[in-house]
Amino acid sequence: MKSTRRPEVIIVADERALAETAARRLLARVMHPNARAAVCLTGGSGPEGLYRLLAQEPCRSALPWDRVHWFMGDDRFVPADDALSNMRMARRAFLDRVDINPANIHPIATDAASPQAAAELYEAELRRFYGAGGLRASRPLFDLVLMGLGADGHTASLFPHAPALHENARWAVAVAKAGLEPFVPRVTLTFPVLASTREMLFLVGGRDKRDVLTRVLAGDDLPAGQARSDGDLVWLVDRAAAPEESHAS
Ligand code: 6PG
């Protein structure tokens, strides 16, 4: 699966600028007059700065909290209060710090009988939210999908060589074996569902991401490079993570 459009790469000074730029883009994406907006969150270290900003002024007052629904692109199959939980991280960073209708938060049910059962439940929830029928590019499921980049090139819980990379029918799948730490089972949305967005925004910061980011942007066959978007596809990176040649100018 290839990106339908050329990705835009935006390089900012540092982690702080990364979080601020992401917050501005998120606000712009949810500020439409429709009754509901939907944001798909991600785990990992990349989005934490952004999440904290969302609960602080000026974002706190600017966000239409009653209209925005928060989903999770992937989660680790651990109890909701486990330190490894992506949703726990998002809750602690911002969702628990604002006045928000609990019905607007859509966690993956990691207390289900199995990762497979949790994936099925999440798919059913997303389908309900979207309404009847299959996904149409003209009516994306999400307004914004946030993505991270792992050291091995994975994104969401879509790891190199995993069968989940080629899943086109299901909206969410169980990942029995993670390709990278933490080695716990996961549940992940699939590429076609993540693609159903007005904007997919990768957040990549820090020197330790530079090598893998260089490979992805050069077109190496890595999961993050396979991600596509029905809308815009943006890589927001800080200078430490930016490929060598972008430092030359
Ligand atoms: C997860 C994440 C994952 C993450 C990358 C990058 O559950 O692990 O959703 O896809 O975005 O692993 O994470 P770091 O920024 O912590 O390296």
Q: Show the 3-state SS of 205-220.
A: CCHHHHHHHHHHHCCC
The residues facing 171 across adjacent strands are none
Is pTM beyond 0.85 here? Answer: yes
Task: Judge if the beta carbon of residue 46 lies within 6 A of ligand 1.
Answer: yes
Question: Phi, psi (5° rounding) for residue 223?
Answer: -50, -45
Nearest-atom number in ligand 1 for the CA of 156 is: 10
Contacts of 51 (CB under 8 A, 6+ apart): 41, 89, 90, 93, 94
pLDDT in tens, 201-248: 999 999 999 999 999 999 999 999 999 999 999 999 999 999 987 765
Residue 37, helix vs strand vs coil: strand
Select from 18, 41, 45, 183 the residue to mutate for testing ligand 1; criterion: most ligand atoms less than 8 Å from CB: 45
**pLDDT tens digits for 63-116?**
999 999 999 999 999 999 999 999 999 999 999 999 999 999 999 999 999 999
Which of 149, 165, 204, 222 has most ligand 1 atoms within 8 Å of its beta carbon, as the pocket-test mutant? 149
* Residue 148 CB–ligand 1 contact under 6 Å: yes
- What gap in Å lies between CA 54 and CA 67, rounded to an integer? 15
